[in-house]
């Protein structure tokens, strides 16, 4: 199972992605959403920090007006993944 946590701390979003799904296409879908968010944050100068380990990824992204729209899109994508694969994806925000 993939677990995604989004926490707002001060002026930043903290996004944590933990685990793996049994279905490769689920992992690929969540990864694509996450990488797109990171790339966008980096282009907008809003990526504060990113770390990646064997089973977990964490990003800190500044809460800017532009990033709010991108975070909404990220959550919309995650919600779609949760509905389609409820046994594989859990997201909390």
pLDDT per residue as tens digits for the range 77-88: 999 999 999 999
Whether residue 11 has pLDDT greater than 90? yes
Work out the average pLDDT over 17-21.
Answer: 95
CA distance 44 to 66: 8
pLDDT at 54: 85
Q: Cα separations (Å) of 56 from 4, 16, 83?
A: 10, 7, 22
What tens digit of pLDDT does each residue of 52-74 get? 998 899 999 999 989 999 999 99
Give the CATH number of domain 2-60+83-92.
3.30.70.1490
Residue 54 CA to its chain's centroid (Å): 16
23 confidence band (pLDDT: 50, 70, 90) = very high
Residue with token string 């990488």: 35
Q: What is the mean pLDDT of the chain?
A: 96
Q: Which segments within the chain are labelled E, that is strand?
A: 2-9, 12-19, 47-52, 56-62, 89-92
pLDDT above 90: residue 14? yes
Q: pTM of the prediction?
A: 0.92
């Amino acid at each position: 199972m993939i677990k995604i946590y989004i926490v707002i701390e001060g002026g930043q979003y903290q996004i944590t992605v933990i685990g793996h799904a049994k279905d490769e296409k689920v992992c690929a879908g969540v990864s694509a959403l996450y990488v797109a968010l990171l790339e966008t944050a980096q282009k907008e100068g809003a990526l504060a920090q990113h770390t990646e380990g064997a089973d977990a990824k964490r990003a800190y992204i500044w809460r800017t007006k532009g990033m709010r729209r991108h975070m909404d899109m990220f959550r919309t994508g995650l919600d779609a993944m949760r509905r389609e694969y409820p046994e594989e994806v859990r997201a909390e925000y």
